[in-house]
Structure 1
Amino acid sequence: MTPVHRADLGDGTYRNPVLAADWSDPDVVAVGEDFYLTASSFGRAPGLPLLHSRDLVNWSLVGHALERLEPAADFAAPRHDKGVWAPSLRHADGRFWIFWGDPDHGVYQISAEHVRGPWTAPHLLKAGKGLIDACPLWDEETGEAYLVHAWAKSRSGVKNRLTGHRMSRDGRTLLDEGTTIVDGDRIPGWFTLEGPKLYRHDGWFWILAPAGGVETGWQGAFRSRDFLGPYEERIVLAQGRTEVNGPHQGGWVRTPAGEDWFLHFQARGAYGRVVHLQPMTWDDDGWPVMGDRGEPVAEHRKPAAPEQPVEAPATDDAFPGGRFGRQWQWTANPRPGWTVEHGGDGLRMNCVRTGDAHDLRLLPHVLTQRLPAEEFTVEVDLALESAEPGARAGLAVLGDAFSWIGLERGDDGAVRLVHRFAEPVAEAERDAAPPRPAPRGRARLRIEVSAGARCRFQADTGDGPRPSGPVFAATPWRWVGALLGLFAAAPPGRGSAGTATFADFRVV
């Protein structure tokens, strides 16, 4: 199936972004002829997505490394902008490693022999508030291992500096108290230094790290002969004359053909942080040169790599056997009973009883996936199989503001099509359009998304597709793009509140 966003132009070139969805804070590693990428997943579960490519342009989602967020009790309810921040993906000593900073708990790591797992349980390597953007390095020249991380001022009161540690090779122990190895306050014009990625190249320790803010900053490079410094710095990628704001943090990778490339993100509002691929070379002084002489490229020759079919992370889902695909994540750690196993196709969700049913931002049992492109249309079939007054289910665009269209059982026993929304400051939803009858208790729901994440809602309850309500402008959360979501809920009470079945989820 042709992806809704196609980065591979089919003539040996590609266009940016190579991943047009919210794969925030990407990091990448090469293992043989394969490339693997992970990204921030914040408070959603499963976390730490794992993407695979053979050419850095065409990507597929192969799984997640983190089944549940820890501490588990802290993520029983949605914490949309917390959790897993800016992971680093590495391969050393025959294992894959992922390190990340949770701004409220500290630096964690997990590892696995194979990228598809099983992955070890999260190990808290360094406890503390405001420890973010952690990256390890195994130095094959000396046998030593190191860690660098940044700071979140919101938790620690510290920002604009990078801290380095010596680390045991098993990644379980830090061997010193830590040293500030780069202090951005001492560099004229630099601020909000964060997102470090640590490398060894050509006899130097390298730190690639952005500064200047997510939407307005630049990508920096630092180098030193000694891990503890002193480091010299240079701006190696900036917006310049292009429309690529940021450009912000990412990872450097060298291909088997010996080419160097840099993957980074661009903040695009409700679409989240989309991923760009930049060619990378080295100047006569040994500094990296990214993009077109330090500015992002819009189109470029593809990396020299084996041919790969045009591909993008999956979006569509027929829910075979009642199971959902890898592209879906819950808005909090999942609990038993949110879905119902059955032998047919279609996702059967229990109408979970909750007092927060009228604010989707507070529900842990919303099943979500990223907005997959700038413009697209999403459709899904819904059948409400609940006799409980107030039971509801639907298709949502979920962010700091939200809007959804779906079915609700009324106090009179009738099922109606409803379309509701809530603004960022609102604590409860309200009607975006008058309810209308859905006598069969079924509907085909549709959302058309155009440039600027402007969403137009439609539904077919048996008498043909009809538009519903005004245009809704999707909004991000802090750090997180808007999401597509499926949910089923019911008012508080005892016993089962019935189910809702979603089928034939498609994005075109």
Structure 2
Amino acid sequence: MIKQTFQNPLLSGFYPDPSICRVGEDYYMVTSSFVYYPGLPIFHSRDLIHWEQIGHGIERPDQFDYKNCETSLGLWAPTIRYHEETFYIINTFVSEGREARRDNYIITAKDPVGPWSDPVFVEHADGIDSSLFFDDDGSMWYAGNYICPEALYEGHHGIYLCELDPGTFQFKGERRIIWDGSKSRSKWIEAPHIYKKDGYYYLMVAEGGTFINHSVMMARCTAIDGTYEICPRNPIVSHRHLPPLSDISVTGHADIVETQNGEWWMVLLAVRPYQNDSSISTTENCGHFHYNLGRETFMAPVIWDEDGWLRLANETGLINREERLPNLPAAYVPLADPNDDFESDTLAMIWNTIHPPVTPFYSLTERKGFLRLTLCPDRISEITTPAFIGRRQQHKLCQAKTAMEFTPASHMEEAGLVLIQDDRFNYIFTKAIKNGQTILRVAKTESGTYSILRELPVEPAERIYLSAQCNETTYSFYYGYSEREMICAMDGLDAALLSSTVNGGFTGAYMGMYASSNGSESENHADFDWFHYFY
């Protein structure tokens, strides 16, 4: 019997702020990536269930200068749209601090696989989470959020609209405020998307902040730049009324798409929290509420009611772990291989660096079948571009394992595995030397302070196997001199260190390979034969 349901999340792990569009029978989706490079992962599907990553919107180091961008800055909340044989992504690049500099730009491509154009910045476009809408007459519109200059309360934001010149992507005419948050006493309104249906322009926004009060709200108007009527049932989607430690929490930031069969579906972000009685303090007043995987992409059916407003089309009115399938033919795609033997000359799409490597620090060709990391002075605990190649942690229970060949030449050199939320919160498991003795070092960075947790002597063998075990509330490190040998280096490490509620950021945990000369110059390197991810 063919299963008639699918399991959320649609994209597991750190894939927040999804935006979706349809071209014929093909669906395309893009999510935020912040400082991880390549940026703006782009996915394709023909049945809304099976998604294959096909490219990135940002994949050339010269497209942006990420210098000094901490982990939760960079590329925020993209929107993808299609108009007259061209794909558009509009996005906000945030640098110099979350409230300091926000540049909104547009990139285009004839094929979503790429290449995508260099960014064209929209002058005088302040705010974040910008969006595009193409009207029936061919006009092109920009929607963005703004902070009300005379705020009546904390989080008093609104949405503005302005027509764009389709040739220059610059503002054309006057900006108009189409939703002032004070009308509905809404907080932190952002992520506007405009849709046209049955004579109305519908405006959908995120509201309530990016934590447990997150939600989706709507308004509508018969003129795109008119006075919008607020939906009386707002929020149309939220789990804010549920216990924070529900199976799914922090639902919001949505986009919708109509299938070729007339169904409507919503993609949005949410998290899968866990409880951890940790002593590590959080940046939110959230008790023992944690999530390491970041904000993930979920999907649910929606329907337009007789009164013309949107609602979830299921029995619970919630975002569920199990949901019915869309009325589309199943279209399977090759499963992404979680393991990498580094046999290709280019990195697989699962891999990212922190910031674009303007000066290359890795190679897949210098030693065929190995990923070679050149030891860089940069440290993983700095806002910089360390010699780090990582992938998302996508499961609460998982294991990462690698085979490394590395001989440290000085006490400043180290290489191995890193589990990281950002430069201020991470675990480091590396091979090094101390007083002439080969050691394995377990260290952590907490609130920006680096400390060594354990150093244990090991054999000076060139090849060593390193692994990290994730057990929802704890992490453990193991090593061995053969592939199946698992000697515990340190267990029971508090997973809350890598929780988004601890670092107060917008990303999820990464795990990967790392090499550093810790501020000194080095010509040494570390070779990684393979990296396996089990779940």
Instruction: Verify same fold: TM over 0.5.
Output: yes
- 1:392 Cα offset (Å): 0.9
* Counterpart Cα distance in 2 of 1:152 and 1:380: 47
Give distance in 2, aligned partners of 1:87 and 1:123.
14
Match of 1:258 in 2: 262
Instruction: Give the whole-Å Cα distance in 2 for the aligned partners of 1:48 and 1:358.
Output: 22
1:436 maps to: 457
Tell me the residue number matched to 1:353.
377
Matched, 1:457 2:452: no
- 1:372 equivalent to 2:375? Answer no
Deviation, 1:358, is: 6.7
Deviations 1:457-498 (A, max 9, x none): 21113593111223231223411112113211114445x431
- Structure 1 residue 171: Cα displacement: 5.9
Q: Quick check: 206-215 or 274-283, which moved more?
A: 206-215
Spell out, residue by residue over 1:340-376, the C-alpha distance to the aligned partner (whole angstroms, 9 max, x if none).
332511210101134xx37266444322221112221
The worse-fitting range, judged by mean Cα deviation, of 45-54 and 144-153 is: 144-153
Partner of 2:205: 209
Q: Over residues 203-261 of structure 1, what are the superposed CA-to-partner deviations in whole Å (9 max), with x where a residue is unaligned?
A: 11111112112222321111111112211222211225564323111210111222110
Instruction: Find the partner of 2:56 among 49, 56, 64.
Output: 64
RMSD of equivalent CA atoms: 2.5
Alignment partners' CA distance in 1, 2:348 and 2:414: 23
Spell out the pairing of 1:194-273 with structure 2 (5 A cutoff). Answer: 194-214=190-210, 215-234=212-231, 235=234, 236-239=236-239, 243-268=247-272, 269-273=291-295
Secondary structure, aligned partner of 1:98 = strand
Deviates more, 1:317-326 or 1:239-248: 239-248
Give the direction of change, closer, same or farther, for the CA distance of 1:171–1:303 in structure 2 (3 Å limit). farther
Say if 1:403 and 1:422, in contact at 8 Å, map to a contact too: yes
User: Matches of residues 57-456 of structure 1 in structure 2 within 5 Å?
Assistant: 57-68=49-60, 72-73=64-65, 75-103=66-94, 104-127=101-124, 131-140=127-136, 142-151=137-146, 159-170=156-167, 172-188=169-185, 190-214=186-210, 215-234=212-231, 235=234, 236-239=236-239, 243-268=247-272, 269-292=291-314, 294-309=317-332, 313-321=336-344, 323-340=346-363, 341-342=365-366, 344-354=368-378, 357=379, 359=381, 362-399=384-421, 400-410=424-434, 412=436, 414-426=437-449, 428=450, 430-452=451-473, 454-456=474-476
1:17 and 1:108, CA in 2 relative to 1: closer, same or farther beyond 3 A?
same
Alpha-carbon offset, residue 29 of structure 1: 1.0
Does the 8 Å contact 1:49/1:65 carry over to 2? Answer: yes
How many angstroms apart in 2 are the aligned matches of 1:70 and 1:202? 44
Inter-partner Cα distance in structure 2 for 1:102 and 1:159: 22
Which has the larger displacement, 474-483 or 312-321?
Answer: 312-321
- 1:198 and 1:266 map into 2 onto residues whose CA distance is 21
Distance 1:180 1:83 in 2: 26
With normalisation by structure 1, the TM-score equals 0.89
Deviation at 1:420, TM superposition (A): 1.2
C-alpha distance in structure 2 between counterparts of 1:70 and 1:135, whole Å: 24
User: TM-score under structure 2 normalisation?
Assistant: 0.85
State the alpha-carbon separation in 2 of the partners of residues 479 and 471 from structure 1: 22
Counterpart of 1:507 in structure 2 is 533
Pick which of 286-295 and 371-380 moved more.
286-295
Single out whichever of 33-42 and 311-320 deviates more from structure 2. 311-320
- Judged with a 3 Å threshold, the aligned counterparts in structure 2 of structure 1 residues 358 and 451 are, in CA distance, closer, same or farther, namely closer
Report the equivalent of 1:3: none
CA distance in 1, matches of 2:464, 2:64: 36
Q: Does 1:43 align with 2:35?
A: yes
Give the corresponding residue for 2:508: 481
SS of structure 2 residue aligned to 1:162: strand
Q: Distance in 1 between matches of 2:148 and 2:230?
A: 23
Listed as ranges, the gaps of 5+ residues in structure 1 are: 1-8
Task: Give the number of equivalent residue pairs.
Answer: 488
1: CA distance, partners of 2:380 / 2:301: 47
* Alpha-carbon spacing, 1:363–1:337, altered in 2? closer, same or farther (3 Å): closer
Specify whether residues 321 and 284 from structure 1 end up closer, same or farther in structure 2 by C-alpha distance, changes over 3 A only.
closer
In structure 2, the CA distance between the partners of 1:90 and 1:313, relative to structure 1 (3 Å rule), is farther
Distance in 1 (alpha carbons) for counterparts of 2:267 and 2:250: 13
Distance in 2 between residues matched to 1:345 and 1:124, nearest whole Å: 41
The Cα of 1:11 is off from its aligned counterpart by: 0.9
Give the direction of change, closer, same or farther, for the CA distance of 1:419–1:394 in structure 2 (3 Å limit): same
Indicate the residue corresponding to 1:23 in structure 2. Answer: 15
Does the residue aligned with 2:128 lie in a helix, a strand or coil? strand
Q: CA deviation at 1:386?
A: 4.3
Do the aligned partners of 1:23 and 1:274 also contact (CA within 8 Å) in 2? yes
